[in-house]
Structures are given as structure tokens and as C-alpha cells.
Amino acid sequence: MNKNRLTIAAAGSGKTTYLVNHALDRPNDESVLITTYTEANELEIRKKFSKINGFIPSNITVQTWFSFLIKHGVKPFQGSMNDDLFEESVNGLLLSSGKSAIKRSFKKAGRTIQVAFNEDSEFKKHYFSKSNKIYSDKLSKFVIKCDKSTAGSVIERISMIYSHLYVDEVQDLAGYDLDIIKLLLKSSISVFLVGDPRQVTYLTHNEARNSKYKDGKIQLYLEENCKRLIKDGIDETSLNVSHRNSQDICSYSSLLYPTYSATKACQCAECRHKKIKHQGFFLLKSQDVRRYLEKYNPVQLRWDIKTKVDEEFSAMNFGESKGQSFERVLIYPTNDITRWITDNSVQLKNVTKAKFYVAVTRAKYSVAIVYDYSGSFTASGVTNYEMVS
């Protein structure tokens, strides 16, 4: 069996449980690293270990991608990049929401032009803040260059420490992160990648490197750059069943990503043990929102805080809801999403489509979308929706 694998997971498929159980099956004398992009997901993995096993075994390490790169890619080799770094400590990470290390900016033809510190002549200012924290958008590039300057010692050292590497939420990796994945696939480590490319709700890096593969195109990256390394290890079926969503919700969310196999709802007794009257996909006029909230108490999901909601009931932004699970949701669509609802051929921006997918797939039983439809309105591509009035 190929030692490297990519598993594409649908929303609600039990991805974290799958990953944790797989890691627990490794022999105790084999060291395992599980890494994921966000601190919130790292915490979820730790909680899952506690729930399934009671504790995290001593041979398994769980940490964020950033922590992993700083600990194993930066600190042991930082002096190889710059002599000054032999005598200095890297004091952690500075998260950058945009382009970091900006030297100056100016307006030209109505556009803001940003000039960054030069990597060669202004090395430390290019990679590090004044407090000697490495910029998050420069971290993976720094690690790649450390590995190159030490003739592969970074990856060699990691492969001596860990036998197995699990990368959760792999769709969040971009830029030079993908180059690191390729090097790890080439090493002696058994690499297991898991993620849902449909849930890229924000850009982790805004850089030119590997820009073709941003927005969750990890499968395309592997097929075009690592085909020999991944071989037949791309799995699109094992995690294509949702233990959260009803079949109506699965069918509707699948319309957003027709290039992927349609998600199916798990029909086991544990997942479908309740007989719920109000299930499915619904359209709701604005005038009926209050009554619907009072009757069914769904969580309101909105694009951002600017969207008007009923403040007496719980509300959350689309992106914030990622990883959450609710019995019911009430969605306030953007104008673009509204157009897509009436015509599925409308092309949504990647981030809009991903956030809407996340919002729809948070619900176990029902999804209601606020839409002031006319009497003759038909939701495109949906045969099992109802209008609530």
C-alpha cells in the first residue's frame, strides 16, 4: 500500500474521528505528529483524543502547522540563513492578514503600491518583526530556504523524529506550504493528508508562489507535482458520507460543487435515530422570520456583522461557524448567493461559495434561507424545498 495518502472529506463526515482513530492504530514505538492550521482545530483534535481514548498517547504529538514549522524548521537551522541569527532567538510568530514587512506604501493611478523590505539586502526586516517574531506569511518560505541551504537537513531531521505525519484541514495550506508537503512526501515519513477543499473560507497566504493551487486545490497540486509520490493514494470515497446533515441538506450543498461526488447522508440508526418533523431545505420570507425563529430556534448565519439579524436569537458569521454543528440554521444570503439560488449556473466567487457551503452544512435537520420569493418562484436545482409562510 502506498505510504502517502490524501483523503477528501465531506462536511460532517467525521474527519477528525477518522484521523484520530487512524493515528491510534499506529504501534506505540512509532512516533506520530498530527498538525493542523488553526489553534481551534488543534483543540478539537485534542478533545477527540480525550473522548475516544481518554488521553493522547506519548508517541503522538499534536500541534499547529505554524508551531511545527517554527520548532522543526526554523529554530534548529536559523543560523544557516543569516549569521546574526546564531546569536538571537526567534520569539514566535506574528500573524499577518495581508502582505508583511512593508517598507513603504504610496498611491499611483488610484492604487496603493506596497514596497516590502528586500529579502537579500534587508534580510531580517524581510522575515522578522522588531520583536524578532517571524511573519506568518514568510514562515514556510524561510523553512524551505533553510532546507535548501543545509542540503535537506530540515526534512531529514523531521523524518528521524517522526514515522507518521498527519495533516488535518490540508486545504488551508498554500504557497510555500505546498513545497514543504512535497518534500515530506519524498521523505521516509508516511504522510496522511485529510481535508475538505470546499471549506476554504479564507486565504492563509496571499503570495504568488503556487497561486494556481490556492482555494483548496490540493488534489490538483498533488496530481500535477507529486503524482509518483502519491500514486493511487487519493481517496474520494471513505469520507463522503455525512453523519451530520440530512439527505436534503447533502443534496443541496452538493449543487455548489458539482465536480465532487455528491455527499450522501449516513443512514445508520445512530445518525438517524430521531423522527424529526421539520426537516429539509426551506425558503422563508422576511416577514416570517420572527415567527420561524420563535417556533424552531435556528442559529442565524450571516456573511458578517453588518447583516441585520434578530438580536434576540443566536447569530454567527458564516466563516465563524466552520467546524460547528447545529440542529437548524437560518441563513441570510448575500445578493450573489440569492442569484445563485435562483440560477445555479451563476458563478460565485470562491470564498462566497465556500462560506455558503459551510453555512448550509452546519445543520442536522433543516436549513432555511431568507428570500422574498414571488408566488411562481422555483429554486434552481432543488426538488425538495418548501416555502415557509
Q: Could you give the CA distance from residue 350 to residue 352 in angstroms, rounded to a whole number?
A: 5
Question: Using 50, 70 and 90 to split pLDDT, how confident is the model at 316?
Answer: very high
Q: Tell me the β-bridge partners of 195.
A: 8
Question: Using 50, 70 and 90 to split pLDDT, how confident is the model at 204?
Answer: low
Which cell numbers hold the place of 208? 504568488
Out of 172-181, 268-277, 295-304, least confident range? 268-277
The pLDDT score that the predictor gives to residue 277 is 84
Q: Could you give the CA distance from residue 164 to residue 162 in angstroms, rounded to a whole number?
A: 6
The pLDDT score that the predictor gives to residue 202 is 66
Spatial contact of 126 and 119, defined as CB atoms under 8 Å apart: yes
The pLDDT score that the predictor gives to residue 339 is 92
Out of 127-141, 263-277, 307-321, least confident range? 263-277
Which cell numbers hold the place of 379? 429554486
At 5-51, the pLDDT tens digits run: 999 999 999 999 999 999 999 999 999 999 998 888 899 999 999 99
Identify which has the larger pLDDT, 205 or 289.
289
The pLDDT score that the predictor gives to residue 387 is 59
The pLDDT score that the predictor gives to residue 386 is 57
At 155-164, the pLDDT tens digits run: 999 999 999 9
For residue 34, give the 3-state DSSP assignment: strand
Q: Could you give the CA distance from residue 389 to residue 371 in angstroms, rounded to a whole number?
A: 11
Spatial contact of 249 and 367, defined as CB atoms under 8 Å apart: yes
Question: Using 50, 70 and 90 to split pLDDT, how confident is the model at 72?
Answer: very high
Q: Could you give the CA distance from residue 226 to residue 183 in angstroms, rounded to a whole number?
A: 10
- Rg, Å, the chain Cα set: 23
Contact residues for 223 (Cβ-Cβ < 8 A; gap 6+) = 230, 234
The pLDDT score that the predictor gives to residue 203 is 62
Looking at every residue in the chain, the average pLDDT score rounds to 90
The pLDDT score that the predictor gives to residue 115 is 83
Question: Using 50, 70 and 90 to split pLDDT, how confident is the model at 327?
Answer: very high
Spatial contact of 26 and 61, defined as CB atoms under 8 Å apart: no
Mean of pLDDT values over 134-141 = 93
Percent of the chain with pLDDT over 70: 93
Indicate left, alpha or beta for 108 from its phi (over 0: left) and psi (-120 to 50: alpha).
beta
Residue in 352, 379, 357, 5 with CA at minimum distance from that of residue 193: 5
The pLDDT score that the predictor gives to residue 15 is 92
Q: Could you give the CA distance from residue 75 to residue 84 in angstroms, rounded to a whole number?
A: 13
Question: Using 50, 70 and 90 to split pLDDT, how confident is the model at 52?
Answer: very high
For residue 338, CA distances in Å to 68, 193, 373 come to 41, 34, 10
Q: Could you give the CA distance from residue 173 to residue 166 in angstroms, rounded to a whole number?
A: 13
Residue in 356, 363, 350, 349 with CA at minimum distance from that of residue 318: 356
The pLDDT score that the predictor gives to residue 206 is 65
The pLDDT score that the predictor gives to residue 114 is 82
Contact residues for 165 (Cβ-Cβ < 8 A; gap 6+) = 32, 33, 35, 158, 184, 189, 190, 191, 192
For residue 68, give the 3-state DSSP assignment: helix
Q: Could you give the CA distance from residue 239 to residue 15 in angstroms, rounded to a whole number?
A: 7
The pLDDT score that the predictor gives to residue 267 is 82
The pLDDT score that the predictor gives to residue 376 is 62
At 87-135, the pLDDT tens digits run: 888 999 998 877 888 888 878 887 888 888 898 889 999 999 999 999 9
Contact residues for 285 (Cβ-Cβ < 8 A; gap 6+) = 370, 371, 372, 373, 388, 389
How far, rounded to the nearest angstrom, does the alpha carbon of residue 316 sit from its chain's CA centroid? 18
